[in-house]
Amino acid sequence: MKTALLFGASGLVGKHLLNQLIKDNNYSKIKLFVRSVPEIDDLKIEVVKTDFNKLQNHKEDIKGDDCFFCIGTTKKNSPDKNEYRRVEFEVPKQVAQIAKSNSVNSFFFVSSGYADSKSSGDYLKFKGEVEEELKRLDFSKLGIMRPSFLLGDRKEKRVGEKIGIFIFKLLSPLLLGPLKKMRPIHSETVAKAMIRAANENLEKNIFESNEIDELTK
């Protein structure tokens, strides 16, 4: 039985990951790395109250088998450019580097469709840069999930994203061939795909939105 490391358990994908990991018999322990202690009670869970500005202080905690990283932010929540970069790039990079130094075998990361380190937009650029760092670290098993619009119950309202999701849901039947990866996908499906990727030997390590969906069928 394995130990899962989970970063971002309160987010859209992370909350589904936590629920699924609790039910999954492949895992006997789930380490939750959080800023504030959640109201959840399960024998599998070990809560690690984390200072994300001083991740090296948690080096001894970031030990286990499969690391799932789902932390992300928005420009609205992190208007300071340096803080935005820290959350979207520095934190996942540091977590991955520490995990690798501790011989964590597997790393699974929620990226984004069209992630590209050469993108002019910060969001896609930082996601692309994290992807490159993960490849460089050469984990025994790596899963990079590139969802399109994520469906699910968000804590905060994102009007622009809601409009985009509505439009793309209407257009989904028309998104064929290379455009399939633009189809919206439910956050629960992404979580399910991450766990499957962690427990099966798959031939690839980057999954576009439509491939994430196919992975769970």
pLDDT of amino acid 25: 96
Each residue's pLDDT tens digit, 32-59? 999 888 888 889 999 999 999 999 999 9
Section 66-89 average pLDDT: 89
Q: What is the model's pTM?
A: 0.89
Q: How far apart are CA 148 and CA 143, in angstroms?
A: 16
- Of 15, 100, 127, 181, catalytic: 127
Which pLDDT band, with edges at 50, 70 and 90, does 208 fall under? Answer: very high
Residue 64 has a pLDDT of: 98
**Which domains does the chain carry?**
2-215 (3.40.50.720)
Where residue 69 falls among pLDDT bands split at 50, 70, 90? very high
> Which residues are within 8 A (CB) of 8 and not within 5 positions of it... i.e. 6 or more apart?
14, 68, 69, 70, 71, 72, 110
pLDDT at site 152: 74
User: One of 29, 123, 141, 180 is an active-site residue; which one?
Assistant: 123
At 77, list the tokens: 């929540």
pLDDT digits (tens, 9 = 90+) for 149-178: 888 776 555 555 565 555 555 655 655 555
pLDDT tens digits, 90-128: 999 999 999 999 999 999 999 998 899 999 999 999 999
Catalytic, 114? Answer no
123 is catalytic: yes
| Contact call for residues 99 and 135 (beta carbons, < 8 A) | no
Q: Is 33 exposed, middle or buried (0-12, 13-18, 19+ CB in 10 A)?
A: buried
The per-residue pLDDT for 163 is 59
Q: What is the mean pLDDT of residues 180-205?
A: 89
How many Cα atoms occupy the beta-carbon half-sphere of 47 within 13 Å?
12
